[in-house]
Chains A and B, each alone.
Chain A
Amino acid sequence: MHEKAKDAVASFVAGRTSRRELFGYGAKLGLGAATMGFLLNEAQTTAQAADFDWQYYKGKTVNLLLNKHPYADAIIADLENFKKLTGMDVKYDVFPEDVYFDKITAALSSGSTQYDAFMTGAYQTWQYGPAGWLEDLNEYIKDPKWTNPAYAWDDVLPNLKASTSWSGVPGAALGGEGAKQWAVPLAFELNSITYNKRIFDKAKVEPAKNLPELVEIAAKIQGSGQNVYGIGTRGSRSWATIHPGYLSAFANYGGKDFEVADGKLKAAMNSAAGKEMTALWVDMIKSSGPRNWSTYTWYQVGTDLGAGASGMIYDADVLGYFMNGGDNKEAGNLAFSAFAPNPKGSSPTPNVWIWSLALNSYSSQKGPAWWFVQWATGTEHGLFGAQKMDLVNPVRNKIWQDETFRARIAKSYPGYLEQYAASSPGSKIYFTPQPLFFNLTTEWAASLQRMVAGELPVSEGLDELAANVDNQLKQAGLG
């Protein structure tokens, strides 16, 4: 019937608009109070029905913006099921990651209604959320009118749920008081070591137990005459260089990015622990990293590993996972190892990257969009992705316990499950959430590049970085 009116009614039923607003809106659409009343009754009846009505938005079309990624491939592969389930249609744009976030930024900042829902990382929500571009999904998840009871939000790993929610107050803890759920996790990656067994055997080395050892072993591989370099890590002038291996190790050494006091942030990268760890890291890149490290994104790190150009990587575990299959030269030779860099005997503290789904707050059809997000992050699609596609690592306990999935991983990716079991308890986001994340973290990467290039010593470099960061925080009114 009147689709817009239906939307508006549903929104009222969900308690998100007042009755006056609803009827005002109906009048705008040219509907009398009687018609609106009828629609309202119909909607409430539907919502109160015991079973969740997947067909509620039948005939609608949801527009998605997706990153070119195996996770997106999994969604696309399973879309027919969603369409059948809901009677809705889905349209999507896929962009390569190099420009993906810039596309989102461009779309959201112009108030575009082009995309209803999109893939995002958790860090990005620290910008998009406070900017008012995202819906707080708590309002949907926690309301049975909007969310299927079978959705089982509690089944999602708690660290991930926390890592995707934030109050928007700079420096306030993730998932803390007043936190809004800016996005729901789709799948995630944590950072550990993936190594090439063939190369390791030839060089007669074992996976490292800590960072100083890692530096040594990387150098040994480099010098083993196999025409490979020791260890792959990202190095491009981007925030993405900091968040995988580097920050995992940094956190493991007890380093912190910021100190928070009285709602003000203060740079803390230049702590003694931070300097110690960074010095080792810089040495490692210098002696046994890729030669053009400063242009390396995860694509190069992965490609080198798969092509047998590097001995190992300290990066996302799923990157090793992706490289262990297909027609990659080293497929089948890769092995996985959890990693706790601090020799003083702590357990792993991998920083995580969470691909999530979020709702555009400018969207004119949030209902249908939420229907989609709910489905895509639900158990059913998760299982499909984990068993048949590469929706790894899954975000739900139930899927990790799924035998089919476990058997598949154990068979094709030896050591992966063990690595995961050791890594996951300590895995979460170790950054302090604040809206200048990308700005300041990119600066961190640039600073690291200069240290690796030998343009300035590590200690001085971190001090300079901290001063610079403090200055920017002050300018923005956060420091």
Chain B
Amino acid sequence: MATATLKGRPTLTRRPARHRLLPYLLSLPALLVCIGILVPFATAVAYSLQRYNSSLPYLRKWIWWGNYQTFLTDSAFWNTVYVSLSYTIWTVGIELLLGLAIALLLQRTTRFNNAAAIACLLPLMIAPALAALMWKLMTNPDFGILSYLVGLIGLSDFRWASSPSTAMFTVVLIDVWVYTPFIMILLLAGLRALPRQPFEAAELDGVPASFVFFRITLPMLMPYILTAVLFRLLDAIQQFDIVYAMTQGGPGDRLMVFQVQAYLERFQYLNVGRSAAFLMVLWLITFILSNLFIKNWLRLRERARGAV
């Protein structure tokens, strides 16, 4: 009938090859299609190690770390680092707070809230390059509606992107306008997907709202926040469209972010080597940031889903 253990020769079963290969078969096409990008990447690395200005072909040579070395004492480089980082911190910080606030406002599933969520998404559908054009129109000191409106509250000489003191504010404002919806929609999705029980329990126990928010909502929302911040952070530090369309990095060097600097170096100054070196530094920053974030994200997600 039945025995506890049937002794026999142990046999080794293996997953058949097609089973073991399946995940590779599924994921490799995507990888293969993208992997080609490594060729131009490698070329760019090589460029960054050369003194290479297209208009001075006879001076082209390998200088290895030369381009990077000049960065150390180059105030333009450090200005770019500073501008890029402050742009990133301002935009992502404001967008996160604002996006979270709006998501909380629209958290409950009502007809109005759903419609409002889609409406708030509209700015995301306007290409940043076009959005910048739009804001340029609206901030024109003469006929721009925004200049007119701030004039009504006494700021008659507000110069938006054209004054060094308000240029950063202006581009950050545009970025916030365009990209807050992205964070908002992710966090809204997160809020609406949260399980109900902890909140119901907290309500029954009469736990104060602030405690619920900081100790329950926020930690449970963390994977969403991290994803939203990751995508925004890496896009913000690579900002190009808005700044280039608004001021091309000016006034002065006030808005000279990495990609604008690299673009100018490459396409206007033909300084291929220096441009590539700028971009390599940018790449390094994004690589470290994304690694950091993804590790944390995976850890948080594991925690949120419980063990195994």
So, do A and B actually touch in the complex, CB under 8 Å? yes
Q: Within 8 Å CB of B159, what residues of A?
A: 291-292
Q: Which of B161, B249, B252, B269 contacts A453 (CB 8 A)?
A: B252
The complex places the Cα of A436 from the Cα of B56 at a distance, in Å, of 9
Given known pairs A102-B267, A476-B59, the reply for A453 and B163 (CB within 8 Å) is yes
Q: Within 8 Å CB of B59, what residues of A?
A: 476-477
Q: Within 8 Å CB of B267, what residues of A?
A: 101-102, 105-106
Contact call B56/A446, Cβ cutoff below 8 A:
no
Interface stretch among A126-134, A139-147, A385-393?
A126-134
Contact call B57/A130, Cβ cutoff below 8 A:
yes
| A458-479 Cβ-contact flags toward B at 8 Å (1 or 0) | 0000000000000000011110
Q: Within 8 Å CB of A478, what residues of B?
A: 56
B24-45 with Cβ < 8 A to chain A: none
Q: Is A236 an interface residue (CB 8 A)?
A: yes
Q: Which of A237, A438, A455 contacts B249 (CB 8 A)?
A: A237
Closest to A434 in B: B55
Contact call B253/A446, Cβ cutoff below 8 A:
yes
The complex places the Cα of A123 from the Cα of B164 at a distance, in Å, of 29
Nearest CB of chain A from residue B139's CB, rounded to whole Å: 8
Nearest CB of chain B from residue A458's CB, rounded to whole Å: 14
Contact call A292/B271, Cβ cutoff below 8 A:
no
Q: Is B148 an interface residue (CB 8 A)?
A: no
Q: Is B88 an interface residue (CB 8 A)?
A: no
Contact call A109/B54, Cβ cutoff below 8 A:
yes
Nearest CB of chain A from residue B169's CB, rounded to whole Å: 14
The complex places the Cα of A291 from the Cα of B263 at a distance, in Å, of 27
Q: Which of A101, A292, A435 contacts B141 (CB 8 A)?
A: A292
Q: Which of B56, B136, B250, B265 contacts A294 (CB 8 A)?
A: B250
* Secondary structure of the A contact surface, majority rule: helix
The complex places the Cα of A239 from the Cα of B55 at a distance, in Å, of 17
Q: Which of A131, A291, A445, A450 contacts B270 (CB 8 A)?
A: A131
Given known pairs A132-B57, A291-B159, the reply for A105 and B270 (CB within 8 Å) is yes
Total chain A interface residues with beta-carbon distance under 8 A: 41
Residue among A292, A435, A452 having the largest count of chain B Cβ atoms under 10 Å? A292
Closest to A300 in B: B140
Contact call B268/A295, Cβ cutoff below 8 A:
no
Q: Within 8 Å CB of A290, what residues of B?
A: 141
Q: Which of B247, B266, B268 contacts A101 (CB 8 A)?
A: B268
Q: Is B180 an interface residue (CB 8 A)?
A: no
The complex places the Cα of A256 from the Cα of B70 at a distance, in Å, of 28
Contact call B247/A438, Cβ cutoff below 8 A:
no
The complex places the Cα of A36 from the Cα of B74 at a distance, in Å, of 59
Q: Is A117 an interface residue (CB 8 A)?
A: no
Given known pairs A127-B55, A237-B249, A290-B141, the reply for A450 and B269 (CB within 8 Å) is no
Contact call A446/B268, Cβ cutoff below 8 A:
no
Contact call B162/A291, Cβ cutoff below 8 A:
yes
Residue among A235, A449, A450 having the largest count of chain B Cβ atoms under 10 Å? A449
Q: Is B93 an interface residue (CB 8 A)?
A: no
Contact call A449/B252, Cβ cutoff below 8 A:
yes
| A264-308 Cβ-contact flags toward B at 8 Å (1 or 0) | 000000000000000000000000001111110000000010000
Closest to B265 in A: A439
Q: Is B91 an interface residue (CB 8 A)?
A: no
The complex places the Cα of A447 from the Cα of B250 at a distance, in Å, of 10
| B225-261 Cβ-contact flags toward A at 8 Å (1 or 0) | 0000000000000000000001111111100000000
Q: Is A309 an interface residue (CB 8 A)?
A: yes
Contact call B248/A236, Cβ cutoff below 8 A:
yes
The complex places the Cα of A70 from the Cα of B278 at a distance, in Å, of 37
Given known pairs A130-B56, A292-B160, the reply for A438 and B269 (CB within 8 Å) is yes
Q: Is A114 an interface residue (CB 8 A)?
A: no
Contact call A453/B164, Cβ cutoff below 8 A:
yes
| A100-112 Cβ-contact flags toward B at 8 Å (1 or 0) | 0110011001000
Identify 17 new A-B residue pairs, CB closer than 8 A, beyond the known A435-B55, A453-B164.
A106-B267, A131-B54, A291-B157, A292-B140, A293-B162, A294-B251, A295-B136, A295-B250, A439-B269, A446-B249, A446-B251, A446-B252, A449-B250, A449-B252, A455-B164, A475-B70, A477-B56
Can you list 29 A-B contacts (CB < 8 A)?
Answer: A102-B263, A105-B267, A105-B268, A109-B54, A127-B270, A130-B57, A236-B247, A236-B250, A291-B142, A291-B159, A292-B160, A292-B163, A294-B161, A294-B162, A294-B247, A295-B246, A295-B247, A295-B250, A309-B142, A442-B268, A449-B250, A450-B164, A450-B252, A453-B163, A453-B164, A453-B165, A453-B251, A476-B56, A477-B59
Nearest 4 A/B pairs, CB to CB: A237-B250, A292-B162, A435-B55, A291-B141
